[in-house]
């Protein structure tokens, strides 16, 4: 595609929608605690403490999705399923934006202790792939709005493998609309070459985090009693 193609031009309505998405996201991100690691201790803080503290990140990201009209159009059961399918992969973009692309040095010490140094190294490498967007953080905010509708890349946990989406066609329509909006925005603001690489990174990172989170979930299931997790964390991690 060529960025001069008239089909890639953003209409005034699309610009308005983009601005609303960015404003809705910014209103949630300012509520996130950026200093939680200052209270962590290698001798006392456990993985379960970190994951329960994640409820604030989960809550703000879910509140952001509730501001998206098309997401609200989907029936509640499908919305819950989309959140359970996608949130553990998308939460990492939320972290990157909250931290302004700067990785907290303490997370490596804790994650290496909780799971393994190799796991942390993979997580850190994956996180820094998002540095590609450091000059265009709005791209990641729009990516969050499109990726929540993802169903063709998502893999359900074994407990949810029998669940099906009721509004499948509607979700596909919304996904196509928001992916197209993101693609047009990338071409208009960043150019075609950047846009192609950006989409490649977003898809690859989604799949990469999917595998990493499967490993973390295996550790969680074998290490802890699900009842020890707060309700939102337990639901997002599919422990119920």
Q: How confident is the model at residue 38 (pLDDT cuts 50, 70, 90)?
A: confident
Residue 10 lies in a domain: no
pLDDT of residue 160: 52
pLDDT of residue 236: 84
pTM of the model: 0.90
Mean pLDDT for the chain overall = 88
DSSP states along 180-193: HHHHHHHHHHH-HH
In the three-class reduction of DSSP (H, G, I as helix; E, B as strand; rest coil), residue 100 is classed as: coil
Alpha-carbon distance of 153 to 142, in angstroms, equals 18
Residue 4 lies in a domain: no
Residue 9 lies in a domain: no
Q: How confident is the model at residue 171 (pLDDT cuts 50, 70, 90)?
A: very high
Could you tell me which residue, 152 or 89, shows the higher pLDDT? 89
Mean pLDDT within 97-120: 93
pLDDT of residue 3: 47
CATH of the domain at 95: 1.10.565.10
Tell me: pLDDT of 56 over 50: yes
Q: What residues make up the domain containing 155?
A: 17-27+44-236
Is the Cβ–Cβ distance between 178 and 146 less than 8 Å?
yes
Residue 102 lies in a domain: yes
Neighbours of 68 (CB within 10 A): 22
pLDDT of residue 7: 67
Residue 154 phi, psi (nearest 5)? -75, 145
Residue 227 lies in a domain: yes
Task: Name the DSSP class of 150.
Answer: -
Into how many domains does the chain fold?
1
Mean pLDDT within 221-230: 74
Q: How confident is the model at residue 21 (pLDDT cuts 50, 70, 90)?
A: very high
- Rounded to 10 deg, the angle between the 168-190 and 192-223 helix axes is 130
N-to-C CA span, the chain: 44
Query: Which residues does 3 contact at the CB level (< 8 Å), separation at least 6?
Result: 187, 188, 191, 192, 195
Residue 7 lies in a domain: no
Residue 73 lies in a domain: yes
Could you tell me which residue, 83 or 165, shows the higher pLDDT? 83
Residue 34 lies in a domain: no
Is the Cβ–Cβ distance between 73 and 32 less than 8 Å?
no
Alpha-carbon distance of 129 to 133, in angstroms, equals 9
pLDDT of residue 163: 62
């Amino acid at each position: 595609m060529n960025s001069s193609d008239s089909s890639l031009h953003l209409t005034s309505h699309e610009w308005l929608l983009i601005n609303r998405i960015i404003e809705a996201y910014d209103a949630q991100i300012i509520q996130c605690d950026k200093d939680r690691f200052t209270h962590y201790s290698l001798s006392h803080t456990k993985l379960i403490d970190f994951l329960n503290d994640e409820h604030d990140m989960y809550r703000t990201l879910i509140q952001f999705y509730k501001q998206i009209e098309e997401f609200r159009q989907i029936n509640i059961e499908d919305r819950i399923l989309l959140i359970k399918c996608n949130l553990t992969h998308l939460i990492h973009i939320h972290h990157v934006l909250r931290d302004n692309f700067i990785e907290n040095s303490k997370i490596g010490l804790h994650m290496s202790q909780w799971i393994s140094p190799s796991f942390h190294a993979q997580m850190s490498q994956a996180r820094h792939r998002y540095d590609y967007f450091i000059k265009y953080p709005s791209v990641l905010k729009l990516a969050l709005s499109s990726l929540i509708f993802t169903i063709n890349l998502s893999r359900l946990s074994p407990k949810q493998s029998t669940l099906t989406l009721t509004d499948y066609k509607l979700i596909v329509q919304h996904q196509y609309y928001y992916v197209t909006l993101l693609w047009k925005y990338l071409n208009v603001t960043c150019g075609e070459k950047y846009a192609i690489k950006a989409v490649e990174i977003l898809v690859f990172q989604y799949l990469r985090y999917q595998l990493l989170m499967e490993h973390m979930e295996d550790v969680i299931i074998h290490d802890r009693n699900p009842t020890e997790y707060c309700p939102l964390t337990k639901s997002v991690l599919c422990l119920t």
